[in-house]
A and B are shown apart, each in its own frame.
Chain A
Amino acid sequence: MRNLVVRRAIQMLLIMLTVSLLLFAIFDSDQFREKAAVAELGGFGIATLSADDYHEWLQKKGLNEPFLARYAQWLKAVAHGDLGRSVEKDVAVATLLKESLANTAILAFFVLLGLIPIALTLGVLAGMNEGSRLDRVISVAAVITTSIPQIATAVLLTVILALGLGWVPAKSAMTDGWSFRPLVLPLLTLLLYDIGYLVRMTRAAMTEVMASQYIRTAVLKGLPPWRVIMKHALRNALVVPVTLIFLELNGLLSQVVVVEVFFQYAGFGRMLFDAANFGDIQVLQAATLVAIAVAVVSQLLSDAAYTFLNPRVRFK
């Protein structure tokens, strides 16, 4: 177990290094540098930036150094938490990132808080009695919620809950300070899809387990039904869903781009979207780095959970 974690942590570091090198190389290309120069020298720069001015700018920024030297420098700065400055907002990228990540983390926390108990319970209930009425209701509902794109769900929910019934605000910008009510719509949008997905996975795992021979053994041992489910089935059925929940962390990071932009929630997705629109290169660079770090860490957690839950892997 510990071996696995150490091995995966080393792998993770290597992946991050490779990715950072790639990222640096991409954003270090002439196109992007020129774009950065234009942005920094101001709107007029587009017309007036001459080759000489550009070179002078490069000189001033220390961008004429050899590639690897600059990469090393950049890496050192990143390691010290210096991710550069946002041209658009004129703040340190680190500050910007911290705030937006914190907001997204709040959203993600509530998503998981709703997702895990609801999806696992529904999935287990559906899978316990394959083909029963309850199973059919849950399965059909799950298929429906996963079939609607999130952007459509967002529109529908806004129309019904905010514009129609007026229960919650339509936008989540929270200009007057933090409150929970504006969070409801983005939360529901994310939850509807994710619950549907996780329910389907949990149900599939549960039906497979319920059809297995060791469940037959447990039933024919004369155990009460709750004992068969709680002790014999769940442990085996939850292996896959639990690993999926960790991978969901990574999935959420992509989903929030749509949801946060739509509801104007000041999170990571919104920041990424704005930066991409504006061409705020250092923000993009830092955000990509964070996204990849989340992906790699969630993989690691997911593998660790799988190993922990599965004695056949744990004790070779």
Chain B
Amino acid sequence: MSVAPLLECKNLSISYAGRAGDVPAVVGFNLTLKPGEAHGLVGESGCGKSSIALAVMRYLGRAGRVVAGQILFRGRDVLAMNDAEMRRVRGGAIAMIYQEPMASLNPSMTIGEQLIEVPRYHEGVGHRDAALRARAMLDRVQMADATRIMHSYPHQISGGQQQRIVIAMALLSNPQLLLLDEPTTALDVTVEAGIVDLIRRISAEFGTSMLYISHNLGLVRETCDRITVMYCGEAVESGPIADVFRGARHPYTRGLFASNPSPAADKNSRPLRSIPGQLPSPRARPPGCLFGPRCEFFAVDRCDAQPVPIAPIAGSGDHSSRCLRVDEIAWDAAPAAISSRAAAVFGEVALQVNALTKRFGSVSANDGLSFEARRGETVAIVGESGCGKSTFAKILMGLLQANSGSVQLAGLELSRLPVTRRNPQTIRALQMIFQNPFDTLNPSHSIGSQIARVIRKLGVQRDAAKVREQVLELLDLVKLPRDFAARRPRQLSGGQKQRVGVARAFAGRPDVVVADEPLSALDVSVQAAVSELLIDIQRRERTTLLFISHDLSVVRYLADRVVVMYLGQIMEQGSTEQVFAPPYHPYTEALLAAVPIADQHYTKRKVLLSGEIPSASNPPVGCRFCTRCAYRIPGTCDRLAPPLQQVAPDHQIACHLPREQLAAMRPVFEEVTP
């Protein structure tokens, strides 16, 4: 006999009341979660995955409502419970961990007070005992210095620590089910690795079941037993992790995998394929299969005839798919070949950075940065928050002035030249693509007028007719329909807005484009398309692209050269192939090992990284990475600045380790031989 399920969603449908009637968020969702099982819920933004978790907690806000179906927890219908029962379930039997730990903690209560509440109100434990239990739990989530933490306010500790507090708070009531809503999305990758490790350990130790909501396939693969892929409020595929990752049986899942860059594979061996089209609006859902309009296997009059049910795949155990043609598609056939790009040819040096240093009081945000970027080259600057990559971008753009050192653009010194004193020619030559396409377009101007303004301001073209002509050409360039010129930003999707951002940056035919995390606000399937576009335009225009990112997978895919930064200094730089293969700087190695990978063809080596990023105002003496480094040589690394070792032509590593030891490092990713 099988074990009784802990959580069951039966035919669950959730809608949100809008001005023009109800908008469905989740339709006919089914889920069975057994005790001790971890189930991943994956999908892009707006697919309804968070609504499911909030519905389990019966917290859908005033607008949200379960319109059909049941949510059974231990066989009891959550929707039928009275308020007192619900309170016992919330934070008792079911606990939740949230995406943004800072926002999820009360800013005006100490962490101790917030932890102590849980045993106080769930078990009626006295204040002293509750405090003891809170402290013990802090130890279990590996928080050092528990006494100080208990008396701190949330803003006084780091993001990673905040998330450990939220986890400790969830575990204090010894829940049977944990709902994790993108618990590491707001965190740096090495911090994420620590939290994921903690979550895995906890589920093993406490036997807690987990519903793990994420957009990150790699994370789900590394933490869950089963996975459900959602699209437009429907589950499209569900099954054991190994089955789904080895043999996806829905075109959307397949598309997600194909558009997900892997830090393990280089770009020529596995080019990205984006999913064509875009998510349908919840009000205008296509007939039949919701994925139909974007599907390469779409069959007219069959796929759009009637709603497609999710059904078990014949002979597969419990792997099911919402695809009519699941038995007809040759799933294992290689996808149609993509014409590979010719290797870029780099020209003369376009941007030369030399010993650039920027201090804010005692914080040295940039400390002696030196590198160069050639014409037509994509140079990625990689690092976690606080590494100084954004400070560098601001100096380059003229929003900040450096304390010393130089930045030269075609011989012109920029490091102390504020943007207000730069001539239009220089501004035209150096443009930027911003992280958040939602905030960087003016909502009250049309797309066309915003691009036209750039063309006029940069002095490219003044004649009205010619400006208009150029706007249309730019829209062609970024593959947006020409009639978008008359649209307002709110009528565009995130990916489309970012295309406008690209068009705006390239309007003046710049020599150098700085792209500050241009993809991180976008969904995976859109990311692929925008990054392809970026490379295409850059190759054609022979622009130098400075790509600032924390995402190593994207960097491996896009960049020709990589600069790895940590606490304001460059740890390693070299060509992409060099940086992603041994010898590594120990920090690069840790960064790579921290990236969750979705690709079944690779295994990852575990690299231990201790502690958190130290405060930039009080950086460690000697090597700045020494406090977290697994290879630390006591007496050397914590006293002397590391030498810059030239391990190969054009490949530099700032490290004390002897060259032989660096050379002997094993690759972080290894291909699995089938």
Contacts and interface: CB of A to CB of B under 8 A. Distances in A.
B57 interface: yes
Contacts of A214: 103-107
A18 interface: no
Contacts of B92: 222
Interface of B: 57, 59, 62, 87-92, 95-96, 98, 100, 103-109, 117-118, 121-122, 153, 155-156, 166, 169, 173
Interface string A222-236: 111001000110011
A232 B59 contact: no
B601 to A, nearest CB: 38
Contacts of B153: 311-312, 315
Nearest to B86: A222
A213 interface: yes
B270 to A, nearest CB: 38
Contacts of A45: none
B107 A220 contact: no
10 contacts: A213-B98, A213-B103, A214-B105, A217-B105, A221-B90, A222-B87, A311-B107, A312-B108, A315-B155, A315-B156
A235 B87 contact: no
A213 B62 contact: no
Interface string A278-312: 00000000000000000000000000000001111
A310 B108 CA distance: 7
B91 A223 contact: yes
Contacts of B98: 213, 216-217
Given A222-B90, A312-B108, 18 more contacts: A213-B100, A213-B104, A214-B105, A217-B96, A217-B104, A220-B91, A221-B91, A221-B118, A221-B121, A223-B121, A227-B117, A231-B117, A235-B109, A236-B107, A236-B108, A309-B108, A311-B108, A315-B153
A214 B105 CA distance: 5
B155 A311 contact: yes
B90 A224 contact: no
A217 B169 CA distance: 10
A188 interface: no
Of A213, A217, A218, chain B has the most CB atoms within 10 Å of the CB of: A217
**Which 3 A-B pairs give the minimum distances between C-beta atoms?**
A222-B91, A221-B91, A222-B90
A130 interface: yes
A216 B91 contact: no
A27 B276 CA distance: 77
A212 interface: yes
Of A130, A213, A224, chain B has the most CB atoms within 10 Å of the CB of: A213
A222 to B, nearest CB: 4
B158 to A, nearest CB: 15
A131 B107 contact: no
A286 to B, nearest CB: 42
Given A214-B103, A217-B98, A221-B121, A232 B109 contact: yes
Contacts of B57: 220
Contacts of B118: 221
A219 interface: yes
A219 B90 contact: yes
A219 B62 contact: no
A42 to B, nearest CB: 64
A19 B545 CA distance: 56
A273 to B, nearest CB: 43
Contacts of A310: 108
Interface of A is mostly: helix
Interface of A: 130-131, 212-214, 216-224, 227, 231-232, 235-236, 309-312, 315
Nearest to B153: A311
A231 B109 CA distance: 9
A87 to B, nearest CB: 54
A315 B89 CA distance: 35
A235 B108 CA distance: 7
Of A213, A220, A309, chain B has the most CB atoms within 10 Å of the CB of: A220
Contact of A221 (B62, B107, B155, B169): B169
A223 B107 contact: no
Nearest to B118: A221
B108 A131 contact: no
A218 to B, nearest CB: 7
A217 B121 contact: no
Contacts of B117: 221, 223, 227, 231
Nearest to A225: B83
Contacts of A213: 98, 100, 103-104
Contacts of B90: 219-222
Given A214-B104, A231-B109, A131 B62 contact: yes
A69 B57 CA distance: 75
A222 B117 CA distance: 10
Contacts of A212: 103
A216 B59 contact: yes
A150 to B, nearest CB: 35
B121 A227 contact: yes
Given A213-B98, A217-B98, A315-B153, A222 B106 contact: no
B62 A130 contact: yes
A232 B91 contact: no
A129 to B, nearest CB: 9
Contacts of B105: 214, 217
A219 B59 contact: yes
A311 to B, nearest CB: 5
A206 to B, nearest CB: 14
Contact of B104 (A216, A309, A315): A216
Contacts of B100: 213
Contacts of A221: 90-91, 95, 117-118, 121, 169
Contacts of A312: 107-108, 153, 155
A217 B105 CA distance: 7
Nearest to A313: B155
A237 B96 CA distance: 24
B5 to A, nearest CB: 22
A231 B116 CA distance: 13
Nearest to B57: A220
Given A212-B103, A315-B156, A222 B89 contact: yes
A236 B105 CA distance: 12
B125 to A, nearest CB: 14
Of A309, A310, A312, chain B has the most CB atoms within 10 Å of the CB of: A312
Of A131, A213, A221, A311, chain B has the most CB atoms within 10 Å of the CB of: A221
A221 B106 CA distance: 12
Nearest to A211: B61
Nearest to A238: B108
B344 to A, nearest CB: 44
A104 B173 CA distance: 56
Of B57, B59, B107, B169, chain A has the most CB atoms within 10 Å of the CB of: B107
A134 to B, nearest CB: 14
A236 B154 CA distance: 14
Contacts of B89: 222
A274 B92 CA distance: 68
A56 to B, nearest CB: 61
Contacts of A223: 87, 91, 117, 121
A222 B88 contact: yes
A213 B182 CA distance: 14
Nearest to A239: B108
Nearest to A233: B106
Given A130-B62, A235-B109, A222 B104 contact: no
A218 B104 CA distance: 9
Nearest to A129: B62
A198 B166 CA distance: 35
Contacts of B88: 222
A221 B130 CA distance: 15
B154 to A, nearest CB: 9
A309 B153 CA distance: 13
A216 B58 CA distance: 11
B17 to A, nearest CB: 11
Given A213-B103, A312-B153, A220 B108 contact: no
B106 A217 contact: yes
A214 B165 CA distance: 13
